[in-house]
Structure 1
Amino acid sequence: MSEAQRELAAKNIGLVYYIAQRYRYRAERLGIEFDDLVAAGLLALCRAAIFYRPEVGRFVGFAAPTVARAMHRLIQRTGKRPLHRSILLDFEDEEEGDKHVESRDLFHEADWSEVWVRDFLDGLTPQERVIVDLTLAGYSQAEIGRRLGTSQVSVWRGLKRARKKWLAMQEACG
C-alpha cells in the first residue's frame, strides 16, 4: 500500500467498527468474536483503499459494501461448517466401577469401517471424489460448482451418483 492508501484506510477505520456493530449479534451467535469480525473488515478496508479510484465517487461509498461483504462472507463460512452432533452416553469406569455420563461427538465416534470408506472412495470418479470432499468440508453446492467451473446442478448430480454408490455398497456389504 502506498502512503496515501494507508492514510485513506486509517481515516476510515470507524466505518469498519460501525459496520461490525450491525453484524455483531449474528456473528456472536455463531461463535465469531467481535475482534475477528473487525479484522475481516480491516482487511477489506485496506483492499478497498488499494483499488479505490477517486473519479468513481466517494471512498466511503466504495468501501462500505466491500467491508460489509467481507464480514458477511465470514459469517456465511462459519455458518456452513459441518455440524457435529453430540449424544450423552453412559459408561462405567473400569477401575472404580462408577457410572458416568459423557458427551461424545458423533462425527468422531462413528464406527466407520476403513475398508468401506476406502472402497467407496475408490469407486468414485475424480470429480465425484472432489465434490464429496468439498461437501464434507462444509461448502455449498453453488460454491463447489464455482470452484470446479461447473453448475450447481452438476454438483447435485455428482452427489446423487455418489450417494447411490454409497447405498449400493452398504447393501452389498450387509
Structure 2
Amino acid sequence: MHSTQDAPLLAPRQREDLVVRHLPVARSLAARYSGRGIEVDDLRQAARMGLVKAARRYDPTQGAFLSYAVPMAKGEVRRCFRDLSRCVRPQLVENDEDGSLVEQVGELDPGFDDAEARVMVGAALQELDETELLVLRLRYAEGLTQSEIGERIGATQAQVSRTLARILRRMRVAVAA
C-alpha cells in the first residue's frame, strides 16, 4: 500500500513535523510494552525510530499517517524484544519438580489485546476534528440519539448518521492497520 517507489516523498520539514506531532503515540506504544525486561527509554526510542522510518516512507495519497506509522512503530518495539531474546538462553523447564509448565512460565496477560486496542483507538481518535469528537462523545458517552445530537450541533438526523458512519469507517481502517 505504501511504497517507496513512485511515492511522493515528503519534504524533510514535513517528515519532521509528522514525527514531532505523533511523539505522544510513540510514548503510548512504549508504555504499553514497559515492565517486560527492557527499559522504557529504550522502548520509546524504538517507537520513535518506527515513526521516523514511517515518515520517510509515507505516501500521503494512501491514507492517514497513523494507519501506516503505528504498525511500523510497534514493529520496532517488538524488534527490541526479539533482539533481547537472542541474547537470553532459556533454561530447560522441568515439569515434574517445580509444578506445571504454566506455573513456571506464567500465563498470557489477558489485558494484552485490550491495551493494544486502546492504543490504536487513541491514535485513531487523534485524527478526528472537534466536531467529530463531539458527535462521538454525545452518541457513545452520553447516549444521545442521532436526532438529539443533530439538535445540539445544528444538523439533521441524516447528517449525523452519515457523520457517524464516516467516523466509524475511518476508525475501523485505522485500528485494522
TM over 0.5, shorter chain: no
TM-score tier by shorter-chain length is 0.3 to 0.5
State the TM-score, normalizing by the size of structure 2.
0.43
State the TM-score, normalizing by the size of structure 1.
0.44
**Structure with greater Cα Rg:** 1
Larger RCO of the pair (alpha carbons < 8 Å, separation 6+): 2
The answer to which structure has the higher strand fraction is: 1
